[in-house]
Amino acid sequence: MTQVPTARIAQRSPFPVDLEAGKTYWWCACGRSQNQPFCDGSHKGSGLMPVRLDAERSERLWLCGCKRTANAPRCDGSHKQLTESGE
């Protein structure tokens, strides 16, 4: 049976991010990046990959900080379901 890698929780709330139209962003899916909520390459060897986000317009988005969202990279409120132990 293959074990699915689990992302680290970067924070228990979303990151408000102002995106610039026409730019590409890479959201950290592993939770290891020191540049949250964006990827800095720390996922290497984790089995997890960053999620590409192409900004079609300049806008503020709330990006997931707990790394449990079902709508990556956007926050879907999953952080509200986390217990003190992290799951």
- Residue 72, CA atoms < 13 Å, CB-side half-sphere: 18
Is the model's pTM score more than 0.75?
A: yes
pLDDT above 60 (res 85): no
The domain locations on the chain are 9-87
In this predicted model, what pLDDT tens digit does every residue of 37-50 receive, in sequence order?
999 999 999 999 99
pLDDT above 90 (res 8): yes
DSSP 65-81: SSS--SSTTB--SGGGG
The 10 Å Cβ neighbour count of residue 38 is 17
Going from the C-alpha of 59 to that of each of 49, 55, 75, 85, the distances in angstroms are: 24, 8, 15, 34
